[in-house]
Amino acid sequence: MERIIFYILALIIVVFSIASVSSRKMLRSVIYLLFVLCGIAGFYFLIDYNFLAAIQLTVYAGGIIVLLIFSVMLIHHIEMELEVAKKSRQILVGLLCLFGLGVFLTTIYAHPFVVVENKLTTSTADIGHKLLSYDAGGFILPFEVISVLLLAAMIGAIVIAKKSRE
Amino acid sequence: MTRFFSITKNIHEWLFDLMPEGLARVVEMILIAVVYLLIFSVAGLYLVLLERRVAAWFQLRIGPNRVGFQGLLQTMADALKLVSKELTGTERADKFLYNLAPYFVIISSLMALSVFPFTKDFQAFDINIGLLFLIAISSIGVIGILLGGWSSNNKFALIGAMRSGVQTISYELSVGLSLLTMVLLAGSLQLSEIVEVQKGGWLIVQGHIPAFIAFMVYMIAGTAETNRAPFDLVEAESELGAGFHTEYSGMKFAYFFLAEFINMFIIAAIATTVFFGAWLSPFGITESIPILGVLWFLGKTLILVFLMMWFRWTFPRLRIDQLLTLEWKYLLPINLVNIVFMAIVVLLKITI
């Protein structure tokens, strides 16, 4: 049962990734990308990591995709189509993609995966404790660094937005 | 994952006798989905009727009362009419996205329904991050509105969709933060556990002042999330025709319409679960008859739905700058201070 769902999700992700980069209409690409991201959220649900799945849906599907749609709506007219790249470039990109795929596949098949019997569902409380713990394996430092980074980004955005007023 | 009444238990056993386990599980899931779909499409239709009757009452009219007893079949007849109508569209619209958009809206609102605890045993999907799941799902619905507005190839629809995007992104913050305030008090994201915490007293009573502030902020932001008046700039009949769904007709329009009413139900149901103890009866008066929980849940939800209808027919529509000022300069700061306040209340254990 889980195997079937896995293959269905994988198929969705592969098909829509290809559709996303090959579509000539910009908003359609964005929507195909949304399906890919939802498929990844589906994987997280499948391995019982509900918290990450919900975050994936909120941040990527709800946040990033909405922002992308917004920018497309502002700059793009409905009848415009994206240009098709030159043949030589297409071949170059295709070769690069094949190379990348090869590297991935060799690493995956060379790595001895160990099946971990993990029936525990990670709760939100566990994640919270881990994020704020000072002990070994705690994530307090990256957590703080990221919050400072976000603050800096926010101040930067405000400064850029204010500049045009003068 | 799934828990039921005793009737459904029999069906459950019968299914597992009849088929191999994997197949039976799939069939069971499909059955539950179909039951939910039927119940809530009919419930959505009756919410439309309720809205029309309430509107008529507020405006000293009678409202629909011809089809069936007291107009009870009116919205059914409307739905039949909508099914039989021709599906039109604009020329040079992006047909694929145009047809896809209504499904985004309706599917995201139907998905959200699956996690509500209607009674102790009547909850389709008791996920351990229930509240976060609800917030995540509700953020997807807006994509359908944006797509519908853009792909219609119509200026009014586009403006309506842009307004909707701005509004939903802004007010999502307030909805999330006000629910987070209550999570501080409840100590869990799982809806069944949030209900469990409220056995000693509903959270709005337990959390007294900060909980009440959170409730008010939630109701304001929730009304804005559903794009209803006084926050219906998205549709704004006098300026934009019908906003993002100007070009839709027939069943596709009905999906948008139904989704709006189901969303209203969802917002009220979240408030019921988080603030008013879901299926728990006041002072535990009917605790011995668990099946009455459904009635309590629906009763509380309908009162909140009525409150939202009351908003709609009382307040005038906000301008877009007033709308954004309300969110970013009032609700959000109030909310942030309220979270700190609630944290202090919980830390010092001065809850009731």
Examine the domain organization and report whether B70 and B162 are in the same domain: no
Q: Within a domain: residue B352?
A: no
Mean pLDDT for B264-269 is: 91
Beta bridge partners, B122, equal B119
**CB-nearest partner of B165 from A51, A57, A70:** A70
pLDDT of residue A16: 93
Examine the domain organization and report whether A41 and A118 are in the same domain: yes
Examine the domain organization and report whether B67 and B101 are in the same domain: no
Is residue B2 pLDDT above 50, yes or no?
no
**Cβ contact (<8 Å) for B150 and A27?**
yes
Verdict on whether the full-model pTM lies above 0.90: no
Using alpha carbons only, give the angle B320, B324, B326 rounded to the nearest 5 degrees. Answer: 115
Q: Which of A49, A50, A74 to mutate to test the interface with B (most CBs of B within 10 A)?
A: A50
CA terminus-to-terminus distance, chain B: 33
Identify the residue whose tokens are 């209900």.
Answer: B195
The span from the CA of A132 to the CA of A109, in Å, is: 36
Question: DSSP assignment, residue B327?
Answer: I
Residue A132 identity (one-letter amino acid):
L
Question: DSSP assignment, residue A84?
Answer: P
The span from the CA of A56 to the CA of A39, in Å, is: 10
Examine the domain organization and report whether B15 and B146 are in the same domain: no
Q: By mean pLDDT, which of A2-11, A57-66, B196-205, B233-242 is the weakest?
A: B233-242
Q: Which of A31, A121, A129 to mutate to test the interface with B (most CBs of B within 10 A)?
A: A31
Examine the domain organization and report whether A92 and A144 are in the same domain: no
Sequence-distant (≥ 6) Cβ neighbours of residue B51 within 8 angstroms? B261, B309, B312
* B:137-196 residues touching chain A, CB 8 A cutoff: 137, 139-140, 142-143, 146-147, 150-151, 153, 158, 161-162, 165, 169, 172, 189
The span from the CA of B303 to the CA of A95, in Å, is: 62
- How distant is the Cα of B284 from the closest Cα of chain A, in angstroms? 30
Examine the domain organization and report whether B251 and B340 are in the same domain: yes
The span from the CA of B107 to the CA of B137, in Å, is: 9
pLDDT of residue B338: 93
Residue A123 identity (one-letter amino acid):
S
Give the structural domain span for B226. 92-347
- How distant is the Cα of A124 from the closest Cα of chain B, in angstroms? 8
Kindly report the average pLDDT of chain A as a whole number: 86
pLDDT of residue A103: 95
* B:76-95 residues touching chain A, CB 8 A cutoff: 92-94
**Final residue of a domain: which of B84, B105, B129?**
B84
Q: How many domains does chain A have?
A: 2
Examine the domain organization and report whether A38 and A107 are in the same domain: yes
Q: Which of A20, A45, A58 to mutate to test the interface with B (most CBs of B within 10 A)?
A: A58
**Cβ contact (<8 Å) for B133 and A28?**
no
Q: By mean pLDDT, which of A139-143, B6-10, B100-104, B120-124 is the weakest?
A: B6-10
pLDDT of residue B250: 81
pLDDT band at A153 (very low <50, low <70, confident <90, very high): very high
Examine the domain organization and report whether A35 and A100 are in the same domain: yes
Examine the domain organization and report whether A55 and A88 are in the same domain: yes
Give the structural domain span for A154. 123-166
Examine the domain organization and report whether B21 and B127 are in the same domain: no
Render pLDDT for B182-223 as a digit per residue (tens, 0 to 9): 988 888 888 888 888 888 888 888 888 889 999 999 999 999
The span from the CA of B131 to the CA of B112, in Å, is: 10
Examine the domain organization and report whether B189 and B335 are in the same domain: yes
Is residue B41 pLDDT above 50, yes or no?
yes
**Final residue of a domain: which of B49, B66, B84?**
B84
Share of chain B above pLDDT 70, in %: 98
Helix (H, G, I), strand (E, B), or coil: what is residue A36?
A: helix
Examine the domain organization and report whether A148 and A161 are in the same domain: yes
Nearest CA in chain A to B132: A54
The span from the CA of B127 to the CA of B115, in Å, is: 7
Is residue B5 pLDDT above 60, yes or no?
no
* Residue B109 contacts residue B267 (beta carbons within 8 Å): no
Examine the domain organization and report whether A36 and A72 are in the same domain: yes
**Cβ contact (<8 Å) for A57 and B137?**
yes
Examine the domain organization and report whether B158 and B177 are in the same domain: yes
Peptide bond into B64 cis (omega under 30): no
ipTM of predicted assembly, 2 dp: 0.82
**Final residue of a domain: which of B67, B84, B101?**
B84
Examine the domain organization and report whether A98 and A153 are in the same domain: no
The span from the CA of B294 to the CA of B291, in Å, is: 6
Examine the domain organization and report whether A51 and A6 are in the same domain: yes
Render pLDDT for B333-349 as a digit per residue (tens, 0 to 9): 999 999 999 999 989 88
Is residue A59 pLDDT above 90, yes or no?
no
Beta bridge partners, B123, equal B3
**What are the C-alpha distances in Å from A55 to residues A50, A124, B132, B222?**
9, 12, 8, 21
Mean pLDDT for B11-26 is: 78
Examine the domain organization and report whether B134 and B257 are in the same domain: yes
Examine the domain organization and report whether A76 and A127 are in the same domain: no
Chain A and chain B share a number of CB contacts under 8 A equal to 82
Is residue A98 pLDDT above 90, yes or no?
yes
Q: Within a domain: residue B162?
A: yes
Examine the domain organization and report whether A7 and A54 are in the same domain: yes
Q: By mean pLDDT, which of A108-122, B42-56, B202-216 is the weakest?
A: A108-122
The span from the CA of A16 to the CA of A37, in Å, is: 10
**CB-nearest partner of B142 from A28, A55, A66:** A66
CA count, 13 A, side-chain hemisphere, B176: 15
Examine the domain organization and report whether B165 and B306 are in the same domain: yes
Q: How many domains does chain B have?
A: 2
Share of chain A above pLDDT 90, in %: 30
Examine the domain organization and report whether B119 and B18 are in the same domain: no
Examine the domain organization and report whether A107 and A61 are in the same domain: yes
